[in-house]
Amino acid sequence: MVKYQSSAMDRTFAALADPTRRAILLRLEQEPGLSVSELARPLAQKLPGMMKHLDVLADAGLITRTKAGRTVSVHLAVEPMREAMEWLKRYERFWNASLDRLVAFVEKEDEP
């Protein structure tokens, strides 16, 4: 890859690209503060694998971890998702607005 530094948005989208990580986020939405083991159990994930996913999510700023004794509770942090959504919003007009623009777009393609 040779990507020595990546932007916040790069990391956010990359973190969201894995189904296990999306499942983690969905679960945390329902049950904030779950521990690492509790997160791993239903996902049939060993702890080392879960650690890597949590590292990716934390790098992207999508979770925070707080340690209490020997257990770690994990919490959602949605700000990066808001920014990802802001980016996508740029394209909202393509499916949200009237079809005028789409028609114009298609017609332009047919020009020589």
Partner DNA sequence: CAAATACTTCGCCACATGGTGAAGTATCAA
Partner DNA sequence: TTGATACTTCACCATGTGGCGAAGTATTTG
Is 13:80 a contact under the CB 8 Å cutoff?
no
Q: Whose Cβ is closer to its own copies: residue 78's or residue 99's?
A: 78
Q: Hey, is 67 helix, strand or coil?
A: strand
Task: Read off the DSSP letter of residue 1.
Answer: -
Considering only 47, 49, 78, 97, the residue that binds its own copies (CB under 8 A) is: 78
Considering only 2, 90, 98, 100, the residue that binds its own copies (CB under 8 A) is: 90
Distance in angstroms (rounded) separating the CA atoms of residues 1 and 11: 14
Distance in angstroms (rounded) separating the CA atoms of residues 81 and 44: 26
**Amino acid identity for residue 54 in this structure:** L
Query: Does residue 89 touch its own copies according to CB under 8 A?
Result: yes
Which partner in its own copies, DNA, none is near 75 (CB below 5 to 8 A by kind)?
Answer: its own copies
For the bound state, the minimum distance from the C-beta of residue 70 to its own copies, rounded and expressed in Å, comes to 16
User: In a 10 Å sphere around its CB, with 0-12 CB exposed, 13-18 middle and 19+ buried, how is residue 58 labelled?
Assistant: middle
Binding site for its own copies (CB under 8 A): 6-7, 9-11, 13-14, 16-19, 22, 25-26, 29, 32-33, 66, 73, 75-76, 78-79, 81-82, 84-85, 87-92, 94-95, 105, 108-109
